[in-house]
Amino acid sequence: MTHVLTALLAALVAGLSGHLLVATLLPDLIQTYYPQWVARHYAGKAGAGKREETVRLEPIDGRPGVSRVVLTKLAVDRLGIQTAEVVVQPVERFRNIGSVVLAASSLPPTAPAAAHGSALVLVVPLSSTADTPATGEPAQLFPLSATRANGPQPSARLTARPAGIVAETALKGSRRTAYYVLENGAQGLEPGDFVMARVPLLRNAAPSSVIPESAVIYEPTGTAWAYANPAPLVYVREPLDIEMTAEGAAVLRRGPAPGTRIVTVGAFELYGAESAIGIEKVGH
């Protein structure tokens, strides 16, 4: 019995070796003399090669670590890649800052003179130089006290005019405080009330380059990128310096020039292809 099994195994190995030898040395005979499953096997190999060619990575001079990603039209359609232009538009810059209402009589002597001349004053702590309020622009107030047992209720939205900014010395170091004057009885606000102040910042409404926030991709280090589309089927990763994001848009300090088309849908797939992650997905 052992001899029979050995003979069958030897015959099987010889047969497979013969098929592989003929398929390697004489590929033209495959279709004529070999079964259809062999032809399908080689056709599948050829198809896999074509799929891999749907994405091509090209080095870019002077930009190590960044490649030009070139796709076929079929790959672009299957990934559903969409683009939009970098636009320049006025940007509303503001901070929502928790603040307190005080009586003018309880203000420190360093408070601006305009604040001392009013009945109620809004005191807004500024966290950094980036929080510098816009000169002359009022703040909008959103009271945090929803109800009060006695007296009139404050309206849903109030405004206060700026009185000045003062740099003060505190136990934990220097700080800056913005003072705003509440007029017309503050419409129900009282000393000690806390409000959320929507403070317009310096350069409020200044034009800036803006892109959809969906175009931004982040590396684990926090570096932000977007893919530019400088030519049909060509995509290049460009660094971004983002000032702020709001309402689905990213405001840029630096980035692609206005008018540049950037990828808004499909950026993660392009990053995967450029990083040699997901190339098979790009091709399918």
Block means of pLDDT (10 residues each) for the chain, 284 residues, are: 58 53 47 44 46 81 94 94 96 89 88 86 85 88 61 62 84 81 74 90 87 94 95 97 90 96 96 69 36
**Could you list the residue range(s) of the whole structural domain that residue 114 is in?**
94-200
Q: How far is CA 79 from CA 68, 100, 109, 131, 229, in A?
A: 17, 51, 64, 41, 15
3-state helix, strand, coil in the chain (%, to 5): 30, 40, 30
| One domain for residues 82 and 116 | no
Radius of gyration of the chain (CA): 34
| One domain for residues 210 and 69 | yes
Q: Can you give the length of the chain in residues? A: 284
**Residue keyed to tokens 């994001």:** 245
pLDDT at site 254: 95
pLDDT at site 25: 46
| One domain for residues 117 and 85 | no
| One domain for residues 81 and 213 | yes
Distant-in-sequence contacts of 274-282, Cβ < 8 A, 24+ apart: 274/57, 274/66, 274/67, 274/69, 274/237, 279/52, 279/55, 280/51, 280/52, 282/54, 282/55, 282/71, 282/75, 282/79
| One domain for residues 141 and 172 | yes
| One domain for residues 128 and 186 | yes
CA angle 133, 137, 140 (to 5 degrees): 85
- The pair of three-digit structure tokens given for residue 9, joined into one six-digit string: 């195994």
| One domain for residues 58 and 44 | no
| One domain for residues 87 and 211 | yes
| One domain for residues 110 and 247 | no
Asked if 86 contacts 262 with a C-beta cutoff of 8 angstroms, the reply is: yes
| One domain for residues 226 and 131 | no
pLDDT at site 14: 56
As for how many domains the chain has, the answer is 3
pLDDT at site 2: 59
| One domain for residues 212 and 86 | yes
| One domain for residues 58 and 102 | no
